[in-house]
Structure 1
Amino acid sequence: MPNLECRMYEAKYPEVDMAVMIQVKHIADMGAYVSLLEYNNIEGMILFSELSRRRIRSVSSLIKVGRQEPVMVLRVDRDKGYIDLSKRRVSEEDIQACEERYNKSKLVHSIMRHVAETLDLDLEDLYVHVGWPLYRKYGHAFEAFKLIVTDPDSVLDPLTREVKEDGPDGQAVTKAVPAMTPEVKDALVKNIRRRMTPQPLKIRADIEMKCFQFDGVLHIKEAMRKAEAAGSDDCPVKIKLVAPPLYVLTTQTLDKGPNLHFSFVVAEVLPMMYCPRRSWILCNRVIGALLDKGISILTNAIKACTEEIDRHKGKLIVKEAPRAVSERDDKLLAEHMAKLQSANEEVDGDEGSEEEEEEEDTGMGEVDVENSGVGMAD
């Protein structure tokens, strides 16, 4: 049975004055016992005197069982395995840096563990040959994983491990071989791409457009072409008729800048963060960055469409400003369009029935167009 428990980093213990993420296990008479989440849940202790700089009125208001939060490492006894921690000495900057590092490490660890579990591998062995070498080379394996999404060979192929073989003279010879088999490489790349490929964000705007001038339909079509021309290769604009005079403009944005690779971390990490307030602040910042490009593109498209239709004395009204939409919104729009189409088909069928009824009803005779003022034709 392979071992699936392993620390996230190569170092077995954290360094002194380093901020680490912990989870409170239980509270004793002298302090709180915690698990260091990044170091395979090894035990540490926070004395009550290290909980706060202020006078402690209630321990339960400062620390609770099950809570996850960053703390500062005070002392590490590597021989006995004792780790003393402090909550009051960790600064706001340390907290932010620790949270960012932990969120990245947690995503990397989740991918590594899934690969090890799927292929019946020892997780620590996978870290020794793949994970920790990437930490050493790229500063954090998360940065390497981002590159693997688009170019896995340049990141993984240089990784090697040493094996000993018997040489021609019978003596052991050290030989460098690939760090992983093709099967492991394929599984790792597949999981990284599944978990870390940013998903396109769909933006939509609803407008009403009318033009009652001569060739009004042609003017509307030209305005639609102007709107679509405002898009780009990365962010194409499409305009679709729902039912006259209602139209929808849509675009999909998939920012490829280095700062927005964090978008997929939002989906994976933010729901698990311990502090809801910080989660929402960070989430709003990232989502805002992703929305800016798509909203800007659609705004320009609406502007181009408005200028063109105004030139022909038409009118455009923005019913719903550019906004992010979900799959549910798309489904509701598709259902609405199908309903309108079905209603139009029913109306067409009703008109046909009325014409048939009129043809069958001959009691009034036929109208004599030439002598309509005199009477009715027989």
Structure 2
Amino acid sequence: MPVADRDRISGEAVDEAIATEVACLCAQPRKNRCVALLTGDVDFCSLVQHARDCGLDTVIVVPKHARGPIPKFKAAGAKVVVLNPVADVSPRVRAVLHKNGEGTVQLAEPFEYSFDRDDKLEITADFFQELRYFSDQAYLAKFWYAQKLGSLTVFPGQRTNLTALKFTAAADRVSAFTKYDGNLAFFLPVTAKVTKAMPANLVAPMPELSTQVLSKLQYLDSNLNASLAEAMLTFVNVTDNKKTLRRLEVLPGPSDTVVEVEDKLRFAFLSNCSDGEWRAAPKDGEVRKLLSKHGLLIAETASDAQVLKSMQKFARKHGLPSMQSYHGLVFRIMQFMYASDPTRTQPVEFKS
């Protein structure tokens, strides 16, 4: 089932295209139908179940480095095929969470994940679920921190899974550990280039939790991005963040106020149903090129302060919504640039 790739259209639009295609196949009366999907995204499990209920045979092709979702796809009724990479894609970056809740990023030798017993992953999940820890990287990070076990590698996720396997194999009994009380927020910033990955963090909840996380993800600062409302607007409109918020049923809507959006983000950051991976603030490369093309920027390497002034001029000229922050203007101009692209989904808006 071919669809356009994520480099050409937004990830959310790709997901919608896949769902639409499966719905069309389900509506066809032909027998011996089959759909194959290359993904490691467990959000497609409900789609797999729907296809199965419609009589469609479903094959999920999973990259070798993303074996964690296999049990869930099998439980949904899909046949799973593991795809070996044609080139070495073993991650060389390590994100380490330390006992104080702060993180660091370092380069290391390629990590090769050779685990082939998927049933053991289920046993590991049962161990942590009994202690009220439920998600992927997040569950072990929160457990490790709460039990004061020291530093933990939280990226790549396969390394985290391997640590979980070794730990549960050596653990005497579940009762020796304290149960999770829901008071920790784990987040692993995701950037376009893993070689420039940002450190993971784990924090206790506080009234300013959303502000703290958005600052760590570089949406909010005390300089050119001081508006919390605009930082949240930019954050919720990043495709992967939007997708996670929708899955958690806390995606902001037009009637939400800034306070209500902040509360929704707080819920999402504390949720055990999230793996803690959130996209960091998007880059401004395309906007810089556009401004240079329109003669509003002498050089694409201009300072952020100069780019901010140029973006403000561009926004006024084209009647874009008024924004005060750097990231807010980048968001509005990017929205303007792709306004005629039919593959783009509508932006999330809320009361400012």
**Shared topology, TM-score over 0.5?**
no
Q: Going by fraction, where is helix more abundant, 1 or 2?
A: 1
Q: Going by fraction, where is strand more abundant, 1 or 2?
A: 1
The structure whose Rg is larger is 1
- TM-score, normalised to structure 1, is 0.24
Larger relative CO (CA 8 A, sep 6+): 1 or 2? 2
